[in-house]
Amino acid sequence: MAVLKLIATSVRRQKPLYILWIFSLAAAVSGLLVVDVFRHSLTGTLTSQGRKILTADASLSARRMLSDDEVDALKKQMPGAETARLTEMFAMVSAQNESRLTLMRFISDEYPLAGDLTLQGEAAPVHGRDLGEKPTAWAAGDLFSLLDLKPGASVKIGNQEFKLERALDKDSSQTFRMGNMAPRIYVHRKYMTATGLVQYGSTLTDNFFAATARPPETLKADLEKSFKDPGLQITVPADLEQGSLRLLSRLLDYLGLTGLVTLSLGWIGVYYLGRRWLALEAKSSGVLKCLGLSSKELQNLLLLKLAAILSCGVLLGGAIAWLLAHGLLPFVRDSLPAGFQLIWSWKNTALLLIVGPMAGLILLRSAIHDLAFEKPLDLFQERTQSAKVNILGVAVLLASVAALFMLLTFMQARSWLVTGTFIGALSASVVVVAAIAFGFIRVIAKVRRPGWGWQAHLFSAQWVRRAGTSLLLITVSALAGLLSQLLPHLEKTLVGELNSPAGVERPALFMVDIQDEQLAPLKDFLSEKGLEVAKDAPFVRARIISVNDQEFERGQAAGAMSTREEENDARFRNRGVNLSYRKELSDSESIVEGKEWKDLTVDPPEIAVEAAYAKRLNLKMNDSLLFDVQGIEIRAKIAAIRKINWESFNPNFFIQFPDGVLNDAPKTWIMAVKKHPSFTPPQMQTLITKKFPNVTSINVSEALDSATQLIGQLSSGMKMASRLSLGLGIFVFLMILLFQLISARRDWRQLLVLGLTARQVWLLQVLNYGLLCLFGTLIGAVLSTAVAWGLFKFAFSTPVTFDFKGMAQVWLITWVAAIGGLAWLGWRETRSVRGGLSSESFRD
Amino acid sequence: MTLSMQGLAKSFKQGDTQLKILEDLELNLQDGEIVAVIGESGSGKSTLLSLLAGFETPDKGSMSWNGDVTREWDEKRWSEFRKRSLGFVFQNYHLIPYLTAVENVGLPLRLTGVAGEEANAAGEKLLRQLGLAQRADHLPNQMSGGESQRVAIARALVHKPSLVLADEPTGSLDARTGQTVLDLLFTLLTELKQTALIVTHSAEVAARCHRVLTLRQGKLWPS
Ligand SMILES: Nc1ncnc2c1ncn2[C@@H]1O[C@H](COP(=O)(O)OP(=O)(O)OP(=O)(O)O)[C@@H](O)[C@H]1O
Ligand SMILES: [Mg+2]
């Protein structure tokens, strides 16, 4: 009881210190917590909604039509289960004079087995059977406005006329409101043949759905055992999380890292304020020891007090996170999946709430120990931060903080690569900064001369003789600078990766599903209209049977603890592969390893594989691959590795055969059409669709624009997170400066007594700390560039896009804010020191 | 140098009540005299020094310095006054912790524009006189209380101020050390013909001054 009273009293005495202390921890924790809550909620929402999104309990799907055998096998696996079928493809829909790209969905009577599909003005859900006997279609409301149609109008899809009966209202299988470039249109599958859209090699997805009461955990494993073909995908509701989160997961990665940056800044603040607290605690500790408290008891008392304060901080952080999450929700709802709900993961929350104070305890433990075991009389001495450094102690301290941080990073990024690189880069930076700062101080000590003006004399004395403080200040500002200046690089690279680059000439249209026999007539037709083909390429569907005679197994995701790298690999492996062949290298590709293109032999075929694809599937030079090309086995050897410039918008493939091997295989063609001054892309689409109804053409700029819109929203989320983090960085920075000013109050007061004016003292303060911070942030700027480079090279394996302008802006903002804040704090501080001159100079 | 205070009054607000500390106080200092001020604790001795140094402004009355009325001084003038004309010795030494002994002593000279080497030379000379030659390059936290106070004395005298203000200069030292420090202080003051105002509780200190004033009921009484 007495102890609590003691704590309460001291807290009341030093209110600002404790408030700031609690607040910086709270800010640090809440940032990470908010990101975590959003991540968890997204996953949770999608899983809980998974059944509605999937419209069933399981689906078997392929990028080709499923065979009857496969469908029968699935039915046999689940006797008595309800089933439905959906074939989905992009296709053109034309009304009187216009055509539009749509997502065609050919559904069976029973579709959907789960979830809601409703029409406007009607609450009751509809199913495939409600489409009726005549050729009718339901379409998303967008399509009506795009084609300027009213319900009841007739449209042509492929070769078949449909009556566009009603507009769709709710469609729970559609996850994201934004970013769908093609409106959906539902027709009954019995008209699929009549449309003529499904031809050999058409790009489509065929799904077979089942509703069953079997437990979902074992369902997928069971099904995967019976369906070995890697081209078949088995999906259960829980899988949908990963797939639909792919875009968002990039954002969450970024937010996670930003959260970590915020947390580290917060920790720096906590540590710094903690040191200040201990300095204040010294005197009362001396009294307590004289009153008979043992060193051990004193240490426990201090630890208890620290724990109490830190707990307040994290609890407040939790509360702030809760408010922030709920407050942010209305603003970000549009970029989130429909039906998104905030779900609190108590496990993660608890973990963060424990880890938050733990770092503080670890960081301050040794300082507390030193204080508690010091001789009581020394405690009454003016405490100046000692410059002696216990190397082992510091190493242990850094290691424990690094371990803690590692755990958190992994929680955020779920990837050891990202985690390792991030931590490694940060630790290396700390060492580099400390070394540079140490060198700087040594140099100042060496070159210091009595002949310097009194200002320089005072600065240099302070920097050299209070080496510990200077070291800490430089390191902290460098770290804060590093972390905040890292953000623009991260942002630009990630946004750039999502965005398409400017300056590349985009084609007007991209066409797929061109039948072999349509190629020549289509080319003639285009040149007759004055349209120019940018590129075309054959497209052969196949799957890999074996690599070096080892069966190419369906990669299995290893359960809950799988990292994202593993998940990506598994997803990749499960797909079939598209092959192409050409006589010469296109101008957007280059050989990085192996033979030149023109030397590739045809028998046995030597192939060139794209570099990143090869890395992912672990394919190497001279590997022998066995392909199944529509039932015919073809063996080929990897003779070259290629790099592709995907931004060129040329048709490109992961695996290229030389001319002459696949030429007779069943194939379709893809083609890019150049822009033309007298036709808009929709006009071109209409022209082509009239003559070649089965050919799907994508309006490239429209598709990119709708993607850009989503990306714009995501990147504004990123920006907001960066701003918050930056704000905290500046706040921590100022806290450190404020406490630096307060700690040195007596020294500044002496200068006033010795006859300096308040303005002179103030200028001295600003210059003294400002110069150290300037030095620190400059090191930070250089390091942030290095860390950004390393992070992307080693963790994300994408080249970094530096944002030096953004970095300079951040630096300037930090710098102006820091100097402005310092000037303001310094002014207040000198005023108050000035005011207290009489009472304190002559009386303490 | 002449300093005079006439009808000086100073009070502090303590909650609702007005605490009258100094009232209608008179003080005249002649060049070269060493004056002791004694008085009970809380009688306002330190407050008097604060008024003299311009840290506080009087409620009433006037103070003049060489015929100059200080009421008209702005902050800059006051700081100039403190820099060139005053030297301070405090009870708790108050040295700048990151400057060595010699740098601390040289600081007042540097602040008035004397070159660093010259200031250090003057500081070293003074420290040698005070028996601290070996301590010149030590930092305050490496020195004992007596040594620190001697450094502080050197710092108060190095720029030959017109007036030295001392507030219980031996208050924090044990008797013997206090004695040594005091001897040094008086030797130096006499040698340099310094004018000084020393606040003290010690009868011994008072006895060594040319004149002793007692602060009682807000006024200075000769004794
Ligand atoms: N800034 C202030 N605000 C309020 N009261 C003050 C202030 N400064 C001094 N006092 C009061 O004025 C009175 C005189 O204080 P002062 O420090 O001058 O006494 P003193 O004679 O120096 O005492 P001591 O011998 O104990 O040092 C005290 O009662 C003190 O509480
Ligand atoms: Mg006093």
Q: What is the pLDDT of residue A500?
A: 52
Q: What is the pLDDT of residue A248?
A: 63
Q: Which residue has the higher pLDDT, A718 or B1?
A: B1
pLDDT (average), residues A452-461: 89
The tokens describing A151, both together, are 């319900």
Residue B121 near chain A (CB below 8 Å) = no
Block residue for tokens 């250089």: A782
Query: Helix A745-753 to helix A758-790 angle, to the nearest 10 degrees?
Result: 150
Least trusted range by pLDDT, from A227-241, A545-559, B15-29: A545-559
Query: Helix B101-111 to helix A454-465 angle, to the nearest 10 degrees?
Result: 150
Element housing A380 (H / E): helix A376-380
HEC assignment per residue over A77-95: HCCCCEEEEEEEEEEEEEC
Confidence category of residue A831, pLDDT binned at 50, 70, 90: confident
**Separation CA A761–CA A752 (nearest Å):** 7
pLDDT (average), residues A432-441: 91
Q: What is the pLDDT of residue A109?
A: 93
Q: What is the pLDDT of residue A86?
A: 94
pLDDT at residue A180 greater than cutoff 70: no
Q: What is the pLDDT of residue A413?
A: 61
Confidence category of residue A583, pLDDT binned at 50, 70, 90: confident
pLDDT at residue A571 greater than cutoff 60: no
HEC assignment per residue over B50-104: HHHHCCCCCCEEEEEECCEEHHHCCHHHHHHHHHHHEEEECCCCCCCCCCCHHHH
pLDDT (average), residues A341-365: 75
pLDDT at residue A38 greater than cutoff 80: no
Peptide bond into B97 cis (omega under 30): no
Per-residue pLDDT tens for A83-103?
999 999 888 888 877 787 888
ipTM of this model?
A: 0.90
> Rounded to whole angstroms, what are the CA distances from A617 to A577, A590, A621?
12, 20, 12
CA-nearest residue for atom 18, ligand 1, is B44
Confidence category of residue A711, pLDDT binned at 50, 70, 90: low
The amino acid sitting at B125 is K
Confidence category of residue A344, pLDDT binned at 50, 70, 90: confident
Q: What is the pLDDT of residue A281?
A: 80
**Separation CA A215–CA A213 (nearest Å):** 6
Task: Tabulate helix, strand, coil % of chain A (nearest 5).
Answer: 60, 15, 25
**DSSP type of residue A676:** B
Residue of A nearest to B55 (CA): A838
pLDDT at residue A839 greater than cutoff 80: no
Confidence category of residue A242, pLDDT binned at 50, 70, 90: low
**DSSP type of residue A383:** P
Q: What is the pLDDT of residue A1?
A: 58
Q: Is B94 within 8 Å of A750 when comparing Cβ atoms?
A: yes
From the list B86, B92, B95, which residue is nearest A844 (CB)? B92
Query: Each residue of A497-509: b (16+ CB within 10 Å) or e?
Result: ebebeeeeebbbb
Q: Which of the ligands is closest to the CA of residue B51?
A: 1
Residues A490, A784 contacting (CB under 8 angstroms): no
Q: What is the pLDDT of residue A28?
A: 77
- pTM of the predicted protein model: 0.67
Q: What is the pLDDT of residue A393?
A: 62
**Separation CA A335–CA A370 (nearest Å):** 52
**Separation CA B185–CA A719 (nearest Å):** 66
pLDDT (average), residues A780-809: 82
Residues A478, A433 contacting (CB under 8 angstroms): yes
Residues A159, A196 contacting (CB under 8 angstroms): yes
pLDDT at residue A561 greater than cutoff 50: no
A window 804-843, beta carbon within 8 A of B: 837-839, 841-843
Residues B129, B168 contacting (CB under 8 angstroms): no
CA-nearest residue for atom 16, ligand 1, is B44
pLDDT at residue A266 greater than cutoff 80: no
pLDDT (average), residues A449-467: 88
Confidence category of residue A798, pLDDT binned at 50, 70, 90: low
Residues A734, A268 contacting (CB under 8 angstroms): no
Q: Is B111 within 8 Å of A756 when comparing Cβ atoms?
A: yes
CB pairs under 8 A between A and B: 91
Q: What is the pLDDT of residue B108?
A: 93
- CA B75 to centroid of chain Cα atoms: 20
Using CB distances shorter than 6 Å, the residues near ligand 1 are A 839, 843; B 12, 21, 39, 41-47
pLDDT (average), residues A634-661: 83
Residue in A355, A354, A435, A334 with CA at minimum distance from that of residue A403? A355
| Percent of chain A's residues with pLDDT above 70 | 83
**Separation CA A202–CA A207 (nearest Å):** 15
Per-residue pLDDT tens for A300-323?
888 888 888 888 888 888 888 888
**Separation CA A519–CA A771 (nearest Å):** 70
Q: What is the pLDDT of residue A176?
A: 56
Least trusted range by pLDDT, from A121-130, A132-141, A231-240: A231-240
Q: What structural domains and CATH numbers belong to chain B?
A: 3-98+161-222 (3.40.50.300)
Q: What is the pLDDT of residue A554?
A: 56
Q: What is the pLDDT of residue A391?
A: 62
Residue in A513, A517, A667 with CA at minimum distance from that of residue A89? A513
Peptide bond into A604 cis (omega under 30): yes
Chain A contact probe: residue of B94, B102, B151 with most A CBs at under 10 A: B94
Least trusted range by pLDDT, from B58-62, B68-72, B149-153, B172-176: B172-176
Q: Is B116 within 8 Å of A461 when comparing Cβ atoms?
A: no
| Percent of chain A's residues with pLDDT above 90 | 10
pLDDT (average), residues B59-76: 89
Q: What is the pLDDT of residue B198?
A: 92
pLDDT (average), residues A205-229: 83
Q: Supply the mean pLDDT for chain A.
A: 79
The tokens describing A540, both together, are 């052969």
> Rounded to whole angstroms, what are the CA distances from A193 to A89, A156, A513, A547?
13, 14, 15, 37
Q: Which residue has the higher pLDDT, B213 or A363?
A: B213
Q: Supply the mean pLDDT for chain B.
A: 89
pLDDT at residue B219 greater than cutoff 80: yes
Q: Is B75 within 8 Å of A757 when comparing Cβ atoms?
A: yes
B-chain CB neighbours of A461 within 8 Å are 98-99, 103
Burial class for B2, CB neighbours closer than 10 Å (0-12, 13-18, 19+): middle
Q: Tell me chain A's radius of gyration from C-alpha atoms.
A: 33
Residue in B203, B199, B197 with CA at minimum distance from that of residue B43? B199
Per-residue pLDDT tens for A490-499?
777 766 665 5
Question: Domain residues of chain A, as ranges?
Answer: 1-52+244-386, 58-235, 533-673
Residue B46 near chain A (CB below 8 Å) = yes
The residues that bridge with A363 in the sheet, in sequence order, are none
The tokens describing B187, both together, are 């030797």
**Separation CA A14–CA A8 (nearest Å):** 10
Q: What is the pLDDT of residue B196?
A: 93
Long-range contacts of range A790-793, CB-CB < 8 Å, 24 or more positions apart? A790/A421, A790/A425, A791/A418, A791/A421, A791/A422, A791/A425, A791/A486, A791/A490, A792/A493
Q: What is the pLDDT of residue B215?
A: 92
Per-residue pLDDT tens for A475-494?
878 877 887 787 788 777 76
